Every structure is written in structure tokens, then in C-alpha cells.
């Protein structure tokens, strides 16, 4: 956290406040938080944002950051073949590979203006290290599954508890328990993880109803669809963030909404793996559920890019419903910012540019050809349909500038890319 004051001056501030105001003004940041949105006088450091938009840092609500090293390793194959290939490669991986993959992923996200990510993996102590080095904000879920299914040493639940205890006071690190899915988690494991989340007061994350097979298999073994079953065993709660949710009935949506469950929608991953035709996001939103956007891991999405995710989200729902008014730009931008924060139960701290919030921001160059012309009237549309990572000029996390003029200030990008290229060779050959 920065103790000095920082002013971001003269940009179009996309506040994402309740009125969704866009203001041509300044932002003052003190002690890592936004203290003022309005004309600012002096500050220790000044970022000139003239000709730029200033947006809340994007929130990636579901990924597996360390899988960057597996980019492009299992493309154009169905989920069965994909999982077989990725599990095989997974077994070759060392803790150093997890650290390196997380370093590379943090760089890719910071360069795209993404300041927060929700991760699900084992070896989160290594990911936490990459978070600290790079200056990004990580919501790090240690994977929990039944002891009989895991390759982790010791019990996943105990490992997860130790991880949370050891990392809860580290700045920008938010540790929690992440359940792999109902296909490898018994009722006992699920309820113990829920109990852990309540005892430690953390988020709880799960993969839910990603594929039709998951739903059919669960129905065959329990007589119930996964979300219905989770409701009946008392697992659903307002601490839960469920990723995918591509195959839900209206009854499941009602029950999840009733319990305050949030969702991380991953349209690119669902489309690329042909695992979910179209998650019923409009219905979830109509039921009041907070829905964020996630890229999922690099072995299925290939990029940790929230710009592509936003555009795909809008296009998918329009195309599926044959309705161009579906998922308008403002709603999709909300999913990557304010609604993403709500999905993480972090709406008091993240997701908008308002006094009191943590200063996680990105500065977008409106002079980039992809962003011309931009006016107040089409700014949100341009962000969702036209913006890309190379339009992001600066990234700020908790008031600290981590990327300035497209150069990362915290880590050596070319060295990490070179190491990642070398270390990944064993997965491919």
C-alpha cells in the first residue's frame, strides 16, 4: 500500500457509481484509497490522464492463473480429451512451475487493466508469492476435494485451512476455500469447507454445472441436479461464488438467488470447450444474483483477457436469443467491475471509483486507433466492443502504480516470459 498521495488528473472518469456517472475530473488517492473524486490541487505524484478514460480495475471472477504455461496445449478437442491431456501435464508440474505460471498470468492481467482475479488451484502459496511480487490483487482459493481423489500431500481441507491461516494478513492476498466440483466432493467435504469459510469469514468458490455430463451423472447418483442437491444439503450460502453455471433450471436459479449465491460466468471457456451452450445469465440477473465475468484458465480460454471476455459475453447472449438488445454494453461492463465486486462480496471496497474505495484503477488511452472516436455517449460501448489490452496505458492497485506507460514497474516481464518459454517445453515435447 502506498502511503503517499497520488492524483489522476483530467481524464474521463468512468465512476461506476450507483448513477453510472462519467465525469471529466480528477481523482485523489491517499493511503491506497480514493479520498476524492473532483478537482484536485497538489499531490505527491500526478498521473496526467488527459485524452484517457479512467476505469475501475477489471475483476476476473474465475481463473487458474498458473495454467498460463499450458496455453495452446489442448485446443480443438472435447472436454474428455482436454481433461486427459491437462491432467497428464499437471502431473509433471513442480511448485516452481506454478510460481512461474502465476508470474506470467499476473503480468498478462495487469497489462490488460485487470487488478483483481479469483483463482482456484493447489499450490496457492506459490501464487500468493507472484501476487506479492507483481502487485496485483489475488483472491486465492486452495482446491478442496475428497481425500481419495487428490494428488495433494495430506488432506486438501487441512492444507486449505493452513493456507488461509498463513496468508490472511498479507496485503492484496485474500485466501479462501475452492471446491473442485460435486463430482469429486462428497456432502461431508462440501459442508466442512462451508464451515471453514464461516469460521475464517472468507469467500467460498466452486465449479458448478459446467457440463451436461456433470448434471446427468449427478442426477444418476443422487436423483437430483447439482444445484438442487447443494440447496437440499444446506451448502448454498451468500459466501458462495459458483463458476460456470451453464446448465441451471429456473428452479435452481430461484433457490440459488434465495440463498444469495453469486456466479462467475465464463463465456469463452464454455464456448471453446463446447461445454455449455449459454449460461442463463439474463435469468440469474433478473433474479437479483450478482454475476461476474471470468476467463477460466489459459488451457481453455488461452488468454486472461477481460476485454475479449466482455465482448464475447455480449455477443453470445445476443446470438443465442436472436435479440441484439440482450446484454447491453453497460450491463456487461458492470459484470467486469461493480457486479464482479458484488459477486466477491467486496462491493464496499472494489468495483467503482468513489471516495472510500480501494484505489484499483486502469487508465485507457483514447488515442489508440481502436478507441477513436470516443465521446461520453459511446465510451462504455467502446470499452466493451472495441477496447483491447494494448489500449491500457497505466494500472494502479491499492494506490500503487504497477504499470506506467505500458511498462511494468514491479517485475521484469521479458525475463519472466523467457523463463516461462523454457520451463514449458517439458509439457509440449
- CB-wise, 296 or 309, nearer to Zn ion? 296
State residue 172 phi and psi, 5-degree precision: 70, 5
Q: Do 419 and 193 meet the contact criterion of CB atoms below 8 Å apart?
A: no
- CB-wise, 64 or 393, nearer to Zn ion? 64
- CB-wise, 296 or 394, nearer to Zn ion? 296
CB of 125 to Zn ion, least distance (A): 20
Mask 245-284, x = binds Zn ion (CB under 5 A)? Answer: ----------------------------------------
CB of 174 to Zn ion, least distance (A): 18
CB of 62 to Zn ion, least distance (A): 6
Q: Do 150 and 185 meet the contact criterion of CB atoms below 8 Å apart?
A: no
Residue 282 gets the label, from left (phi > 0), alpha (psi -120 to 50) or beta, of alpha
Find where cell 494502479 sits. Answer: 396
CB of 75 to Zn ion, least distance (A): 17
Site for Zn ion in 57-86 (CB under 5 A): none
CB of 8 to Zn ion, least distance (A): 34
Mask 345-374, x = binds Zn ion (CB under 5 A)? Answer: ------------------------------
- CB-wise, 26 or 296, nearer to Zn ion? 296
Distance in angstroms (rounded) separating the CA atoms of residues 148 and 343: 31
CA torsion 44-116-384-70 (nearest 10°) is 130
The set of cell numbers assigned to 429 is: 515435447
Interface with Zn ion (CB under 5 A), residue total 1
Distance in angstroms (rounded) separating the CA atoms of residues 294 and 340: 9
Distance in angstroms (rounded) separating the CA atoms of residues 276 and 269: 9
Distance in angstroms (rounded) separating the CA atoms of residues 52 and 371: 10
Closest CA to 244 of 220, 218, 273, 264: 264
Q: Do 293 and 306 meet the contact criterion of CB atoms below 8 Å apart?
A: yes
Mask 291-330, x = binds Zn ion (CB under 5 A)? Answer: -----x----------------------------------
Distance in angstroms (rounded) separating the CA atoms of residues 288 and 91: 41
CB of 77 to Zn ion, least distance (A): 17
Alpha-carbon separation of residue 251 from 49, 211, 229 (angstroms) = 47, 18, 12
CB of 64 to Zn ion, least distance (A): 6
Cβ neighbours of 39 (radius 10 Å): 9
- CB-wise, 137 or 265, nearer to Zn ion? 265
The set of cell numbers assigned to 373 is: 472516436
CB of 204 to Zn ion, least distance (A): 15
CB of 262 to Zn ion, least distance (A): 15
- CB-wise, 17 or 124, nearer to Zn ion? 124
Site for Zn ion in 410-429 (CB under 5 A): none
Nearest-CB residue for Zn ion: 296
Distance in angstroms (rounded) separating the CA atoms of residues 338 and 218: 34
- CB-wise, 15 or 301, nearer to Zn ion? 301
Site for Zn ion in 278-297 (CB under 5 A): 296
- CB-wise, 268 or 384, nearer to Zn ion? 268
Closest CA to 163 of 143, 148, 147: 143
- CB-wise, 5 or 86, nearer to Zn ion? 86
Please give the residue ranges that form the binding site for Zn ion (CB under 5 A).
Answer: 296
Amino acid at each position: 500500500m502506498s502511503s503517499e498521495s497520488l492524483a489522476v488528473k483530467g481524464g474521463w472518469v468512468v465512476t461506476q457509481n450507483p448513477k453510472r456517472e462519467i465525469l471529466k475530473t480528477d481523482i485523489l488517492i491517499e493511503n491506497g484509497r480514493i479520498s476524492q473524486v473532483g478537482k484536485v490541487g497538489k499531490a505527491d505524484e500526478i498521473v496526467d490522464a488527459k485524452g484517457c478514460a479512467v476505469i475501475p480495475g477489471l475483476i476476473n471472477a474465475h481463473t487458474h492463473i498458473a495454467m498460463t504455461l499450458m496455453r495452446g496445449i489442448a485446443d480443438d478437442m472435447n472436454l474428455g480429451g482436454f481433461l486427459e491431456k491437462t491432467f497428464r501435464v499437471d502431473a509433471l508440474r513442480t511448485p516452481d512451475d506454478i510460481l512461474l505460471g502465476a508470474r506470467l498470468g499476473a503480468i498478462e492481467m495487469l497489462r490488460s487493466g485487470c487488478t483483481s482475479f479469483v483463482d482456484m488451484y493447489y499450490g496457492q502459496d506459490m501464487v500468493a508469492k507472484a501476487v506479492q511480487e507483481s502487485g496485483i490483487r489475488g483472491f486465492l482459493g486452495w482446491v478442496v476435494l475428497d481425500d481419495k481423489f487428490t494428488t495433494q500431500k495430506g488432506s486438501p481441507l487441512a492444507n486449505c485451512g493452513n493456507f488461509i491461516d498463513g496468508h490472511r494478513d498479507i496485503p492484496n492476498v485474500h485466501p479462501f476455500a475452492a471446491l473442485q466440483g460435486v463430482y469429486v466432493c462428497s456432502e461431508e467435504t462440501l459442508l466442512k469447507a462451508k464451515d471453514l469459510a464461516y469460521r475464517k469469514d472468507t469467500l467460498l468458490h466452486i465449479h458448478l454445472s459446467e457440463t451436461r455430463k456433470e448434471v446427468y451423472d449427478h442426477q444418476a447418483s443422487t436423483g437430483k441436479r447439482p444445484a438442487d442437491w447443494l440447496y437440499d444439503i444446506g451448502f448454498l450460502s451468500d459466501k458462495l461464488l459458483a463458476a460456470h453455471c451453464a446448465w441451471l433450471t429456473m428452479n435452481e436459479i430461484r433457490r440459488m438467488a434465495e440463498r444469495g449465491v453469486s456466479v462467475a460466468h465464463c463465456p469463452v471457456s464454455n464456448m471453446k470447450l463446447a461445454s455449455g451452450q449459454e449460461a442463463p445469465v439474463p435469468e440469474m440477473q433478473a433474479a437479483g444474483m450478482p454475476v461476474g465475468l471470468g476467463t477460466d484458465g489459459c488451457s481453455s480460454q488461452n488468454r486472461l483477457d477481460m476485454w475479449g471476455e466482455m465482448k464475447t459475453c455480449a455477443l453470445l447472449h445476443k446470438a443465442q436469443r436472436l435479440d441484439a438488445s440482450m446484454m447491453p454494453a453497460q450491463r456487461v461492463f458492470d459484470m467486469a467491475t461493480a457486479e464482479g465486486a458484488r459477486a466477491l462480496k467486496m462491493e464496499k471496497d472494489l468495483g467503482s471509483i468513489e471516495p472510500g474505495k480501494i484505489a484499483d484503477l486502469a487508465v485507457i488511452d483514447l488515442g489508440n486507433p481502436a478507441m477513436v472516436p470516443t465521446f461520453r455517449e459511446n465510451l462504455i460501448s467502446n470499452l466493451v466492443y472495441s477496447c483491447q489490452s494494448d489500449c491500457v496505458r497505466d494500472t494502479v492497485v491499492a494506490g500503487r502504480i504497477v504499470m506506467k506507460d505500458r511498462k511494468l514497474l514491479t517485475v521484469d516481464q521479458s525475463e519472466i516470459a523467457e523463463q516461462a518459454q523454457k520451463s514449458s517445453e517439458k509439457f509440449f515435447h
